Structure 1
Amino acid sequence: MKIHIIGCSGTGKTFFAKKLSEKYNIPHYDLDDIYWDNSSQEYGIKTSVEKRDKLLQKILEKNNWIIEGIYYKWLEQSFKNANIIYILDLPKYIYKFRIIKRFIKRKLKLETGKKETLKSLLDLLRWTDKFKNENMKEIIKIIERYKEKVYFIKNKNDLQKILQ
């Protein structure tokens, strides 16, 4: 089984991917881990395109995978190979609340994560508006050719039905 999950920051992609990974006993990959250079001590350093593409190809060669992330422009092969594509399309107030909550938890050291600043939080919140208003339209156009395997998740009930 090959599953691609895409959606804005804070929509629950990682949570959903982990739950599906447990349910089907297949590996889950967060695209942030190949897009961003996690060996860098600085926030926001990208992995080279060549290295990123090689890491993605290694994942796609596996028999089973769950890939999740916000990215789409360099993932045509993933969309093509996926058996199912889930688009998490939740209301703005939900994912913005979750992003702020995650930031606070990380600042209080209740959750691990990248070293974020108040500026990076505000930038992310502004970026989510662009993603929802512009990028999501592009994503829908790109995956139009795969519409028979695309499922939109618009609320918690949609998610629960899939996880049952």
Structure 2
Amino acid sequence: MKERINIIGPSASGKTTVAERLSQFTEIELYKTDNLLFELNSAGGLIKTPREDFESKIISIISDNNWILEGKYFSQHVFNRADSIIFTDTNFLLCLENQWKRFFNDENQIDKYGLAKNLRLSINIVRQHSGLYSTKKIQENNRIFSRNKLKVMLLEYEEKLLILKRPEEIEHYLHLFSS
């Protein structure tokens, strides 16, 4: 089992499910980039971590020998350090369905985000998959990477890349570790 795993993908694509189950099966510590990027303020709201602090946290994590890093954030320095890269590239209808299930099945999501926020997240999922806009566009060295550019970027890492496109593929992959 590889010890440095980067799991990336669009919102609600199944990456957290994969990451949490892999962490459970392998006992490798899981780091979620959303938790590194946002911190709770004293009023209980979320504030964005300054970019330099976020980058420092990422560098500290990937300096270790054992980690699972999960989220929409991606960069070449993480890809270079990873032993395995898992891209949950599920279709946008599934992502929308997952987002709505997440929202309606979890009272905390309703309280935390509200209906308007869930609608915005759903619209962003459609935008991510259509290429019109990507919530996972990030600026790295003054360059913007989109979902399509990510796919091109990943070609360089083919030997350590696993792309999971359907829920059955995700379940099959996870079943390999639970046996």
Question: Is TM > 0.5 for Structure 1 vs Structure 2?
Answer: yes
Runs of 4+ in 1 over 3 A off after TM superposition: none
State the Cα RMSD in Å.
1.9
Query: C-alpha displacement at 1:114, in angstroms?
Result: 7.6
Q: Percent identity?
A: 27
Residue aligning to 1:42 = 45
Q: Mapping of 1:44-59 within 5 angstroms? A: 45-59=47-61
Query: C-alpha displacement at 1:142, in angstroms?
Result: 2.0
TM-score (norm 1): 0.87
Query: C-alpha displacement at 1:60, in angstroms?
Result: 0.6
Counterpart residue identity of residue 143, structure 1: L
TM-score (norm 2): 0.80
Give ranges in structure 2 of 5+ residues lacking alignment. 132-145
Q: Mapping of 1:121-140 within 5 angstroms? A: 121-134=118-131, 135-140=146-151
The answer on whether the counterparts of 2:8 and 2:15 sit within 8 Å (CA) in structure 1 is yes
Q: For CA contacts below 8 A with separation 6 or more, give which structure has more relative contact order.
A: 1
Distance (Å, rounded) in 1 between the aligned partners of 2:120 and 2:167 = 26
Q: Which has the higher strand share?
A: 2
Q: Mapping of 1:9-158 within 5 angstroms? A: 9-39=11-41, 41-43=44-46, 45-72=47-74, 75-106=75-106, 108-109=107-108, 115-134=112-131, 135-158=146-169
Give ranges in structure 1 of 5+ residues lacking alignment. none
Cα 1:39–1:88 shift into 2, 3 Å: same
Deviations 1:44-65 (A, max 9, x none): x311011101111111111111
Cα 1:113–1:104 shift into 2, 3 Å: closer
